[in-house]
Structure 1
């Protein structure tokens, strides 16, 4: 029986807009109550590695564009078609240094998304010149990754306008058929974490034309020097306060690099004009009326400046990095779900978006739609995967694996190489036994190689032509035939931490086939995920425990129930394979169910959930009254868990449980542990020297975005 369409008091079908800024693209998605994407628009970033640059060269008349779009099907609109799709073409970029061009040469200027920039009283062409040209991502030196903050902001605005334009066309169709119209009521933001941006309080423009992206390692010398000169006691103090090790990943050392190496940044700092923030702060500041200057706790916890106990800045942390808190403007640390401000188009970005969508944005800005939810991307994925309860975990299978384990309101310090971070903070929810209205913490770990091993099988060994064929190939055999594949192409990450290890394939015989190797490779990824979950469960155990105890195994036999995981929520490329996820479930055993969400965009959905929970009163919440209600609608289309749920109401939700005997599973785990020991120390043994331990890699490979 179809679920009736719910409308709001004004007769509209409510939607929540989610802005999702990743490492390689930005997108805006409009979600309904079932977590379905009603409209979506995405822009992939241009990079310095590309030979082709985007430049505006022409456009159709608006009437032609409108006619073209109105003739499009609803499904094409939902997949992100917009007017902007038809007005971006490619043209080589002028190689003349931007700073050396004359005023005449500066006109016209084109933004990185291809739109002509016009001079206004608010901002002169010369001011925007340095920010408008060039790619969104660039790699000026090995290990350096920079982003253009103005381009990211413009991409977000363009995506928003294009999604609204698609919604407008969709509403025209719905009106013709007598259906209630859609309307966006609030906005949430998810973003890549740690990326560091500095801008001027006076102008609102970046003090430096680029931001330093999370995986940039230019600050390695700063980190290495701090490790060499900082006592163990001080390093332990830093870890205790922040949950983070000394690493190139986090924002603190990136800001220190800016101050040491960019004179304009140092000058703004000395004058008290420097504003510091991560991507969430940059977006909220420019997209809200009155320029709200905040950072949500999940993002602030990745800067290295926030004390996890106080959820505020810690003067001792700034003193460690020799940064004067009185000289720098810092965003206020806030919860993940509260009112930040009403959406507005930044005045200097207004001239950088296509005119056909500009009127949509202007009309939307006049409606006072609030931005009121924000989460760092991995925390947003945790929320979007419904891993709310203590003991739940999520794993994103990208190039590597990214695991978060919800520890509830307890902040745990890992003894096994994981990080401590904020999972989410929804203060307006009702207090209950799960503490969802308090700051919830998570342990975080990573596997270096996941999807990368599938690429290796495809491109290097040529075992198949498409990545999605790995599952069917691996499932041709019931097991790996005794073969164990340790995919340590660049050493072993958590929880083994051995930079001298290298990839090995063991146990082969004349019986071994391509299917056995493919299955062993997939199992190698799944075994590493289990190893991290095993380590995290030991960190989370409330009591004394020996290091040789496997809590996941003990939980299977009825012991140590308090430390048992209940569910592993999965997303990312490899999770789309039923065969691979069944292998993961078999390796984890009966105590953990592997649950794949029906929503592909779990990160963006998490931001929408945060925005929904920002209303103080339950009756004012647009789509869901609480977190239980989210699961009820997104997973079961409005049915309660205890009801008899028709199969067609949750056909996209899939739960995988272990199907192999415990004895066989334990034997496979023993083989894996033996193979790990034999793959360790390879470089040290053959070269007679030790490879430096890659502490900078503890943050993991975040390839979800």
Structure 2
């Protein structure tokens, strides 16, 4: 059923949007209502090759779908047990943000004892692989769990004379750049793994390319892709590695049977009745094959990576919000699902009208949308293990002169507003260490028992007491780009306490975010703005309006009001910090994309346009925050504004910049020092 007609839908139901969110360490499915609230949620945390070995002797608790309850029954070593009284794993599992996780009614920890390969594997140092069929099965298992939850809730709603919930459409958010290859003839993976975005096995390929490519050509190709050629992140060099190192992949390529795609393409292909072979622009723009101007694959880029368009099937590049196909359940994962889940999903697939999959965004772009950062000049920052910052530049494509990447934020072509119906670009920058420094303080220094204690500890002091902490454990990302920098703590005295160290660590993350936003503001302002600090621009004694006005934040550290106030103080009065209205803004972003995909405005039963999205999610259906106060409602979003004094804030920024200079190149110096020391030892032995 093409997007455009819902006449057969029951008018007395309440529409929901289902969002599939596939991350690096887990998959989840969430059902959202018109206010962006979670009606139902189920998540599976992946097993890994490391965790499988670690837990081999202790087993793991697993929740499976049962026909009578959404939570399911606890299982240990495959034997059903009552959830109450079941023993938990003796060692905790930690998420990517360093947060201890355990099974709950909506979170399932994948069984470590299953005979098949784990969903996430680390076969060699620097190698990270995922199981494509495992991810697909997890998505469907989560979807089935939500169907059970919704059915249970609907029973209560009907008993209370309330209209039942009904899933109207489906959106997908996914980890980007992860590279998968499968057979056109069978639909099965050519090799039983995909190469995950943070895998570095292709480092030799990109190094060779960098060394053999003239700078002029590098700049030319970067202007087409918005990406650096020398990064191991992007799909182009991962595909090249597969062709060079996997005979099965090479054979399929030569036979014209090779299909290439990222996680979004893999999911949409297998979850639609028509096997839609597509990739939205936010994902396609991360492959290294797409031209940002033409919105299509570029022959020069394909030739650069020695890829023949005639020998490989590449997905059609489409918008983030349009009809891709109707939901389907693939036979290839039937054996991986419970019988109850399979039956439920097949029944759902046969529903009339069929439920379309029609929204797709790469995870960081989905977060930008879920943060409602729709206006050019708005930015979002996700505080996870590291920080990911996206700056909305609207219809304007900017190639950064400060090390940021150029990517797409979203494309909603069916909106009536011509401005917002066009593809929206974004600048992207990342901080290597954010939540990881909190984990380090907790696990290595034992300064805090839980990650959430960092804010209260840091706020016990009004400042860091002159201490500056540059958390460059594995180098510095944008805008410094120094892989040999190392973490440094400066300015300590006998007066220094654990609170000063905690505050300096938090400030170190916030200063790096400020450095990226400063660079992006300069990029947005254009030529002649290189040496200006738009976060500190004062004209006639008042602050000039900066290119950046709002920083929308989400992720682990954003939940601490103390940390977010520190971030606002470091940014200064030009920028306000706004927390997300939803704790699951990445999944919510994909849901928004799906709900806005209908060509006819009257078919958009959740939200009509972006203004309507903000009105319902931010203000509960009211027109403004003022109305919320009048009606006694509330928005989950919170805004932080700078309370810092100008001179004090600028002094601290100068200290930060001085600390950055002192930590640069430390690994190189250390390696040179080790070499000198070894030479000296050898010389002494000779004497």
User: Normalising by the residue count of structure 2, what TM-score does the alignment of the two structures yield?
Assistant: 0.88
Could you tell me which residue of structure 2 aligns to residue 567 of structure 1? 550
* Structure 2 residue 300 is matched with structure 1 residue 311: no
Q: Distance in 2 between matches of 1:379 and 1:494?
A: 18
The alignment partner of 1:551 has SS state of coil
Contact 2:382 2:555 in 1 (8 A): yes
**Aligned with 2:404 (options 418, 433, 436):** 418
Taking a change above 3 Å as real, the CA distance of residues 86 and 686 of structure 1, as seen in their structure-2 partners, is closer
SS in 2 for 1:553: coil
SS of match in other structure, 1:402: strand
Which SS does the other structure have where 2:241 is aligned? helix
Residues 487-506 of structure 1: pairs in structure 2 closer than 5 A: 487-506=471-490
Work out which of the residue numbers 303, 309, 332 in structure 2 matches 1:348: 332
Q: CA deviation at 1:66?
A: 4.3
In the alignment, the residues of structure 2 paired with residue 509 and residue 568 of structure 1 have an alpha-carbon distance, to the nearest angstrom, of: 34
Task: Tell whether the 8 Å contact from 1:556 to 1:590 is kept in structure 2 after alignment.
Answer: no
Tell me the equivalent position of 1:610. 593
Equivalent-residue separation in structure 2 for 1:679 and 1:154 (angstroms) = 46
Shift of 1:509: 1.9
Q: Match for residue 168 of structure 1? A: 151
Distance 2:250 2:291 in 1: 25
Q: 1:235 aligned to 2:235?
A: no
- 1:130-529 correspondence runs (5 A): 133-246=116-229, 247-367=231-351, 368-432=354-418, 435-529=419-513
SS of 1:649 mapped into structure 2: coil
| Unaligned residue ranges in structure 2 (runs of 5+) | 1-8, 81-108, 676-687
Asked if the contact 1:116/1:351 (under 8 Å) is kept, the reply is no
Q: Is the 8 A contact 2:431 2:512 kept in 1?
A: yes
For 2:252 and 2:214, locate their aligned partners in 1 and report how far apart those are by CA, in whole Å: 32
Structure 1 vs Structure 2 CA RMSD: 2.6
Offset, 1:681: 2.7
For 1:648-700, what per-residue CA distance to the aligned partner results, in whole angstroms no more than 9, with x for missing partners? 52252110000122222112112211222222233344554899xxxxxxxxx
TM-score, with length taken from structure 1:
0.86
Residue in structure 2 matching 1:680, options 633, 645, 664: 664
Deviation at 1:643, TM superposition (A): 4.5
In the alignment, what sits opposite 2:25?
24
* 1:627 aligns to 2:626 (yes or no): no
Q: Following TM superposition, by how much is the alpha carbon of 1:58 offset from its aligned partner in structure 2, in angstroms?
A: 12
CA-to-aligned-CA distance 1:317-352 (integer Å, 9 cap, x gap): 111111110110111000000000000100222343
1:535 counterpart = 2:524: no
Distance in 2 of aligned mates of 1:277 and 1:87:
36
Q: Pick from 59, 78, 81 the counterpart of residue 89 of structure 1.
A: 78
| Distance in 2 separating the partners of 1:384 and 1:254 | 29
Q: Distance in 1 between matches of 2:569 and 2:598?
A: 41
TM-fit CA distance, 1:167: 0.8
CA distance in 2, matches of 1:501, 1:642: 44
Q: 1:571 to 1:690 in 2, by over 3 A?
A: farther
Q: Which ranges in structure 1 are unaligned for 5 or more consecutive residues? A: 1-7, 70-76, 92-111, 118-131, 692-705
Residue 43 of structure 2: aligned partner: 42
For 1:421 and 1:114, the matched residues in 2 are separated by: 37
Distance in 2, matches of 1:411 and 1:683, equals 36
Cα 1:116–1:619 shift into 2, 3 Å: farther
Q: CA deviation at 1:415?
A: 0.7
CA distance in 1, matches of 2:504, 2:539: 24
Deviation digits for residues 453-504 of structure 1, max 9, x if unmatched?
A: 1112112221111111110011111111111111122222211122232222
**CA shift in 2, pair 1:66/1:317, >3 Å:** closer
Aligned residues: 632
- In structure 2, what is the equivalent of residue 554 of structure 1? 537
- 2:674 and 2:323 map into 1 onto residues whose CA distance is 52
Which SS does the other structure have where 2:167 is aligned? strand
Structure 1 residues 37-46 or 508-517, which shifts more? 508-517
Instruction: Tell me how far apart the structure 2 counterparts of residues 560 and 264 of structure 1 sit (CA, whole Å).
Output: 61
Q: Give the Cα separation in 1 of the matches to 2:113 and 2:139.
A: 17
Q: CA deviation at 1:177?
A: 1.8
Partner of 2:16: 15
Kindly indicate whether the alpha-carbon contact (under 8 Å) linking 1:116 and 1:352 is maintained by their aligned counterparts in 2.
no
Cα pair distance change 1:670/1:198, threshold 3 Å: same
Is 1:371–1:611's contact at 8 Å kept on the other side of the alignment? yes
Q: CA–CA distance in 2 between the matches of 1:202 and 1:186?
A: 29
3-state SS in 1 of match to 2:590: helix
- Contact (CA 8 Å) 2:47, 2:111: kept in 1 or not? no
CA gap 1:679/1:113 in 2 versus in 1, 3 angstroms: closer
**SS of 1:482 mapped into structure 2:** coil
Report the Cα offset of residue 161 of structure 1. Answer: 0.9
